[in-house]
Amino acid sequence: MAKKIIDLTMSIKEGMQTFPTYWHPFVEITQLGRHGIENRETRKLVLGTHTGTHMDAPRHFIKDGKCIDQISLDQLVGPASVIDLSSFEAFSEIQKVDLEERLGDRPCERVLLRYDWDKMLGSMKYFNETPFMSEEAAQWLVDKGCVLVCMDTPMPDNPKNGKGSDNDSPIHKILLGNNVIICEYLINLSKLSQPIVDIYIAPLKISEGDGAPVRAFAIENDIKK
């Protein structure tokens, strides 16, 4: 049986796009060990818990919620249904009916929300005009028993509902408040050709972490050679 592995992860590098607030640091990579001097290469990394492709633990928005090192890997690995939302334009609100229609009778335990939004990387549209879920849609995922929601956008929320708004990040709070893990900033979802894939989300195991960069990839099986 042939299989295809699709890398869904951004490369971490200096100058990469990060969320434009002071609580998300810029990436710094400093070479310390050098060939010809120390005769080995090592580097110091400065990055945030929500740098690049990463997952949110409940602690990100829920006081006393679970941290990264308390999340079961079983939740982060397994079959995932790909929900194609790429036809939605910038700043569209995804409703419950949109998810229902596009999911059909496939399982909802893990879902990949494909907006093809990684094409906006490098511009502020990536953050400011992203499509987002309605509160009803998020609650529907919870009620359906979803445990992992992955997306190629920087957030599941209306970008206007951030810190300082009257309704700060309600989708994060609905999902994380029900221990549904969120994985954001994925890339290459457009390369998935099957409606159900095996997803693997492997976070850095940060003690008391509110989030962590991950290596995310999908495997499609039964690919004809």
Say if residue 225's pLDDT is above 60.
no
For 12-68, write each residue's pLDDT tens digit. Answer: 999 999 999 999 999 999 999 999 999 999 999 999 999 999 999 999 999 999 999
User: What average pLDDT does this structure show over 157-183?
Assistant: 94
For 92-133, write each residue's pLDDT tens digit. Answer: 999 999 999 999 999 999 999 999 999 999 999 999 999 999
Say if residue 224's pLDDT is above 80.
no
Say if residue 1's pLDDT is above 60.
yes
Q: Domains (ranges, CATH) in the chain? A: 3-9+50-221 (3.50.30.50)
In whole angstroms, give the CA distance from residue 220 to residue 194: 7
Looking at the whole model, is its pTM more than 0.75?
yes
Q: How confident is the prediction for the chain on average, in pLDDT? A: 96
Say if residue 164's pLDDT is above 90.
no
Count of C-beta atoms within a 10 Å radius of residue 70? 13
